[in-house]
């Protein structure tokens, strides 16, 4: 029996860039990567939050860096990629996690709210990927994971701009996987259902809303950020070296459940 290559289930020595890396899923992904031996660079809007996270992780002996900035802005994306290139000269992993939402009925959205959601969720993922391409290619086998949502796969009532941004992220994943496969850059996505994050806590603290979510979740509970982080980490490992263009639901069975009769 052939032995598995050393490090197949590890991220040791990998260089990873994570957007929205101070809270929720982004922070969990950063901690998972660091615990698996990766060097991590995070970017998020709050400078105190970035500094606090970096200090926390470096105190554990992990290799963490970061900067404050809104990746919805082109100048911030340019600065992030320039700094990563200066620090490492390559990039093994890009996780496009930054996201936001405004929950409204479609006629109630302002132009500003629509623009905010699309530039934060979708434009940032497209442009970060495009700008990171030379660094990923020079790594000789880079990996991108886009944090999408089950809202991009089925109707949830989360707001049409959010849903369309996540559906577009999933299609971007497929398109880049096909385009960049020859460069050994793998591109995948994860699609979480309700996860215990700051973005979801507003609606989940309403008892009737939470009960409705749980009733539609076969596993009968809300997901944890660490459970999404584990899926992201796997997709970035050499153990997943022949997986690209995939959208992996992390949803407690939500998409598989259909109708459950009373």
8 A C-beta contact, residue 182 and residue 242: no
Q: Which residues are catalytic?
A: 162
* H or E stretch at 116: helix 111-118
Concatenated DSSP letters of 56-84? HHHTTT--EEEEE--TTSHHHHHHHHHHH
What angle separates helix 124-138 from helix 160-180, to the nearest 10 degrees? 20
Q: Specify burial of residue 44 (Cβ count, 10 A radius: 0-12, 13-18, 19+).
A: buried
Geometric angle at alpha carbon 197, from 222 and 125, rounded to 5°: 115
Helix (H, G, I), strand (E, B) or coil at 159: coil
Distance CA 223, CA 251 (A): 7
């Amino acid at each position: 029996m052939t032995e598995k290559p050393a490090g197949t289930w590890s991220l040791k020595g990998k260089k990873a860039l994570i957007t929205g890396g101070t809270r929720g899923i982004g922070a969990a992904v950063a901690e998972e990567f660091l615990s698996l031996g990766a060097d991590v660079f995070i970017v998020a809007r709050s400078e105190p939050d970035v500094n606090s996270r970096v200090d926390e992780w470096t105190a554990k002996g992990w290799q963490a860096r970061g900067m404050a900035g809104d990746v919805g802005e082109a100048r911030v994306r340019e600065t992030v990629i320039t700094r990563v290139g200066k620090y490492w000269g390559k990039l093994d992993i890009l996780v496009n996690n930054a996201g936001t939402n405004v929950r409204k009925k479609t006629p109630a959205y302002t132009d500003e709210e629509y623009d905010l959601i699309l530039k934060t969720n979708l434009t940032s993922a497209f442009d970060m990927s495009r700008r990171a391409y030379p660094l990923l290619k020079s790594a000789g086998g880079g990996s991108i994971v886009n944090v999408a949502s089950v809202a991009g796969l089925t109707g949830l009532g989360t707001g049409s701009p959010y849903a369309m941004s996540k559906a577009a992220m999933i299609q971007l994943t497929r398109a880049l996987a096909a385009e960049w496969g020859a460069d050994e850059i793998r591109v995948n996505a994860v699609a979480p259902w309700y996860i215990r994050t700051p973005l979801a806590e507003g609606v989940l603290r309403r008892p009737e809303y939470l009960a409705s979510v749980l009733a539609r979740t076969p596993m009968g509970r809300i997901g944890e950020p660490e459970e999404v982080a584990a899926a992201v980490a796997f997709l970035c490992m050499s153990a997943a070296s022949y997986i690209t263009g995939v959208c992996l639901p992390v949803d407690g069975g939500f998409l598989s459940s259909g109708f459950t009769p009373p």
